[in-house]
Amino acid sequence: QSVLTQPPSASGTPGQTVTISCSGSSSNIGRKTVNWYRQLPGTAPTLLIYTDNLRPSGVPDRFSGSRSGTSASLAISGLQSEDEADYYCAAWDDSLEAWVFGGGTKMTVL
C-alpha cells in the first residue's frame, strides 16, 4: 500500500491530453512539492517534473504538473506512442521523514 495514491492505469489516443492524479495527505503533498518520474519498459526512471511544475532540460513542454491541497496531477498533452510508460509521483513526508512514492500509473496509448 503506497503512501501516495495513483490510478493503476490510464490511456488515451495519439494527440489527446491525459491527466494522472496523485493523492496524498497533509504531511506530504499538503505541505511539500511533488516530483514526477517516467519509467520506460526495462529502463531506469527519469525525472519528468520537479518542484510541482518545473521541467528538467530536455523534457518537452507537453508535460506539465500542478499541485493543489493534498493532490497533484501530471498532464500529458499531444499524447504520443513513446509516452507509453509507467509514471510515478513522489514527495517528502514530514511525519515519516522519508520520500514517499505513488504506486505508479501505467500509461497506454491506444
Partner 1 sequence: EVQLVESGGGLVQPGGSLRLSCAASGFTFNNFAMAWVRQAPGKGLEWVSGISKSGSNIHYAGSAKGRFTIFRDNSANTLYLQMNSLRVEDTALYYCVKYTSGTSLGDYWGQGTLVTVSS
Radius of gyration of the chain (CA): 13
Among 25, 33, 66, 73, binds partner 1 (CB under 8 A): 33
Distance CA 2, CA 71 (A): 14
Q: Which is nearer to partner 1, 36 or 83 (CB)?
A: 36
23 within 8 A of 31, measured Cβ to Cβ: no
Binding mask 43-62 for partner 1 (x = CB under 8 A): -xxxx--xx----x------
Fill in the amino acid letter for 27. S
Residues engaged in binding partner 1 (CB under 8 A)? 2, 33, 35, 37, 39, 44-47, 50-51, 56, 86, 88, 90, 92, 96-104
